[in-house]
């Protein structure tokens, strides 16, 4: 089942790459191919929001006593890890696009600054996850840290957006829902978002399964150590 | 009012430890001062550049020194298992948070005063609108101390505590760095009107952080 999903994801990504590289036009008024980076940049941005949103929801579910389960903690971690990778990719691709288009690798505008901070906040979150503690301890610390990280971003976003911003406003999800791209470009963008979402689901599934195995392994080792200790105590003559 | 009385008790304990051990006075304060001097080296002691960059350099220095103050405030609790003492004291988590954050905030305010004098003298800054400067500094300090206290207890008892806390705190206090710098810039530039939105941002951040810390400190302390 998972293999089938992986195959479908790869096919979808392949089709997206074909459309992005061969079917869509280069930008007329700019006349170069850098615009094709958009089909990588936009889905990465979407995945960052999706992944950190999933982390926040999973963290809340862990914090509510009635729904508390290790599953949520592991899911939060898996999703955040994938989210950090795609946030990093989004920053790199955006920078590569910005150089020929804006004439600069980096600009301290609202969107870029917020994203960079988001990246560091979740790097910290991942570091916190790796500090070895019992599942219960880790769960509480990480869930709270994830929610603080999630709350900090809007503050930064609104404070810096009082400046002029260089990054364009939402192309698809803007205030009037007036889609500013059309034809094969719009189609390719939607395709890219869908195929990247499939990739996200696949990666999180893999990462989640691995985390569960790690968790099981730790428990098994602990149990074996206790059994050994008990045997050793019994072997000592009274 | 036992809430405030307990908070004062905890803050008094931390400040008394600092007064007697003199770590804040003899280590954190000189650390801040040397950072102020280093920034002058970095900018080639060009007075015009230093004067213009002074607000940002001031807050960057305060942030770095705050990391030391937060580390110190929780190192104290690690020694002799004082953390267990706190937990068993029966003081409510919210009061503990207010007390520890208040102690850090008072230390930071003293530090900011001394560093502020150093910046005025060394970077050749002319002061205006003292009221805005003080309000911005107080709001920023509360936000800073609150954030540090939350992450300090969050990372408490962990092996990698010393390296983890700076990584967690610095991105989270970007609103303080941003708001403090802009408010100071506007005030020193003699345009107090531009400073108010930033002071409000600092105030809002401080309120949010204190509210969050008040709620989460107790559960996090129990866990560690």
Per-residue model confidence as pLDDT tens digits over A177-192 = 445 566 777 888 888 8
**Residues of B with CB below 8 A from A144's CB?**
154, 216, 219-220
d(CA A134, CA B117) in angstroms, rounded, equals 47
pLDDT tier at A176 (50, 70, 90 boundaries)? very low
**Residues of B with CB below 8 A from A152's CB?**
171-172, 174-175
Under a CB-based contact definition with an 8 Å cutoff, are residues A172 and B195 in contact?
A: no
DSSP state, A131?
A: S
Task: Give the nearest partner residue to A140 out of B171, B174, B223, using CB atoms.
Answer: B223
Quick one: closest CA in A to B179, which residue? A159
Number of domains forming the structure of chain B: 1
Asked if this assembly's ipTM is beyond 0.95, the reply is: no
A118 to chain B nearest CA, in Å?
8
d(CA B151, CA A145) in angstroms, rounded, equals 8
* Amino acid B55: pLDDT: 92
pLDDT tier at B166 (50, 70, 90 boundaries)? very high
Contact yes or no for A152 and B159 at CB 8 A: no
Q: What is the largest CA-CA distance in chain B?
A: 55
Task: Give the nearest partner residue to B158 out of A131, A149, A160, using CB atoms.
Answer: A131
Checking if the pLDDT of A45 tops 90, the result is: no
A40 to chain B nearest CA, in Å?
26
Contact yes or no for B172 and A152 at CB 8 A: yes
d(CA A164, CA A223) in angstroms, rounded, equals 59
Q: What would the mean pLDDT of B74-97 be, rounded to a whole number? A: 86
**Tokens 């307990």 sit on residue:** B6
Q: What is the mean pLDDT of chain B?
A: 89
**Residues of B with CB below 8 A from A124's CB?**
164, 167-168, 171
**Residues of B with CB below 8 A from A136's CB?**
223
Task: Give the nearest partner residue to A144 out of B164, B174, B220, using CB atoms.
Answer: B220
Give residue B34's domain range: 2-223
* Amino acid A126: pLDDT: 92
Interface contacts A/B by beta carbons within 8 Å: 69
pLDDT tier at A174 (50, 70, 90 boundaries)? very low
pLDDT tier at B44 (50, 70, 90 boundaries)? confident
d(CA A77, CA A74) in angstroms, rounded, equals 5
* Amino acid A3: pLDDT: 87
Task: Give the nearest partner residue to B171 out of A120, A131, A160, using CB atoms.
Answer: A120
Residues of chain B numbered 130-149 and touching chain A (CB < 8 Å): none
* Amino acid A80: pLDDT: 93
List CB contacts of B38: < 8 A, sequence separation 6 or more.
Answer: none
Contact yes or no for A128 and B164 at CB 8 A: yes
Q: Helix B93-122 to helix B2-21 angle, to the nearest 10 degrees?
A: 50
**Residues of A with CB below 8 A from B216's CB?**
144
Checking if the pLDDT of A98 tops 90, the result is: no
**Residues of A with CB below 8 A from B174's CB?**
117, 152, 156
d(CA B109, CA B112) in angstroms, rounded, equals 5
Residue A175 has phi, psi (to 5 degrees) of -65, -35
Task: Give the nearest partner residue to A159 out of B167, B168, B175, using CB atoms.
Answer: B175
**Tokens 């094969």 sit on residue:** A184
d(CA A141, CA A147) in angstroms, rounded, equals 10
d(CA B7, CA B86) in angstroms, rounded, equals 12
Under a CB-based contact definition with an 8 Å cutoff, are residues B142 and B210 in contact?
A: yes
Under a CB-based contact definition with an 8 Å cutoff, are residues A151 and A126 in contact?
A: no
Virtual torsion, Cα B172, B177, B179, B184, nearest 10 deg: 160
Residue B159 contacts A where some CB pair is shorter than 8 Å: yes
**Tokens 């008394």 sit on residue:** B16
* Amino acid A41: pLDDT: 86
Q: What would the mean pLDDT of B57-85 be, rounded to a whole number? A: 90
Checking if the pLDDT of A163 tops 60, the result is: no
d(CA B156, CA B150) in angstroms, rounded, equals 10
Under a CB-based contact definition with an 8 Å cutoff, are residues B83 and B152 in contact?
A: no
- The residue of A115, A126, A148 whose CB has the most chain B CBs within 10 angstroms, and thus the best one to mutate to test that interface, is A148
Q: Helix A38-63 to helix A70-102 angle, to the nearest 10 degrees?
A: 150
d(CA B213, CA A175) in angstroms, rounded, equals 35
Contact yes or no for B174 and A145 at CB 8 A: no
Torsion-angle region of B147 (φ positive above 0: left; ψ -120 to 50: alpha; else: beta): alpha
Handedness of CA B141, B146, B18, B16 (dihedral sign): positive
Checking if the pLDDT of A23 tops 90, the result is: no
Task: Give the nearest partner residue to B175 out of A123, A127, A155, using CB atoms.
Answer: A155
């Amino acid at each position: 089942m998972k293999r089938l999903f992986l195959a479908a994801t790869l096919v979808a990504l392949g089709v997206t790459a074909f459309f992005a590289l061969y079917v869509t036009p280069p930008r007329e008024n700019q006349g170069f191919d850098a615009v094709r980076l958009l089909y990588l940049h936009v889905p990465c941005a979407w995945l960052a929001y999706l992944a950190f949103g999933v982390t926040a929801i999973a963290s809340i579910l862990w914090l509510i006593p009635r729904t508390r389960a290790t599953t949520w903690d592991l899911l939060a971690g898996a999703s955040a890890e994938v989210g950090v990778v795609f946030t990093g990719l989004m920053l790199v691709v955006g920078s590569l696009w910005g150089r020929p288009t804006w004439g600069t690798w980096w600009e301290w505008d609202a969107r870029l600054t917020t994203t960079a901070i988001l990246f560091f906040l979740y790097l910290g979150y991942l570091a916190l996850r790796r500090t070895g503690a019992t599942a219960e301890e880790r769960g509480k610390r990480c869930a709270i840290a994830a929610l603080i990280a999630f709350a900090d971003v809007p503050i930064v976003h609104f404070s810096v957006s009082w400046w002029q911003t260089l990054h364009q406003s939402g192309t698809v999800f803007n205030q009037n829902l007036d889609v500013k791209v059309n034809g094969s470009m719009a189609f390719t963008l939607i395709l890219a978002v869908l195929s990247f979402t499939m990739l996200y689901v696949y990666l999180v599934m893999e990462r989640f399964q691995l985390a569960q195995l790690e968790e099981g392994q730790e428990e098994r080792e602990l149990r074996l150590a206790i059994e050994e200790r008990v045997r050793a105590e019994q072997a000592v003559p009274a | 009012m036992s809430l405030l009385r307990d908070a004062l008790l905890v803050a008094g304990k931390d400040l008394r430890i600092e007064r007697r051990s003199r770590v804040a006075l003899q280590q954190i304060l000189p650390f801040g001062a040397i950072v102020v001097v280093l920034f002058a080296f970095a900018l080639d002691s060009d007075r015009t550049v230093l004067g213009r960059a002074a607000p940002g350099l001031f807050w960057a220095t305060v942030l770095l020194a705050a990391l030391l103050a937060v580390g110190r405030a929780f190192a104290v609790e690690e020694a002799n298992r004082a953390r267990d003492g706190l937990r068993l004291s029966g003081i409510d988590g919210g009061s503990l948070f207010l007390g520890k954050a208040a102690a850090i905030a008072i230390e930071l305010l003293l530090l900011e005063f001394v560093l502020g004098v150093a910046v005025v003298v060394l970077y050749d800054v002319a002061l205006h609108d003292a009221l805005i400067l003080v309000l911005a500094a107080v709001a920023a300090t509360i936000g800073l101390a609150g954030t540090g206290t939350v992450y300090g207890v969050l990372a408490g008892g962990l092996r990698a505590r010393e390296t983890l806390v700076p990584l967690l705190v610095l991105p989270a206090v970007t609103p303080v760095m941003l708001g403090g710098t802009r408010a100071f810039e506007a005030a020193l530039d003699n345009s107090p009107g531009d400073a108010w939105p930033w002071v409000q941002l600092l105030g809002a951040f401080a309120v949010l952080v204190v509210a969050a810390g008040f709620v989460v400190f107790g559960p996090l302390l129990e866990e560690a």
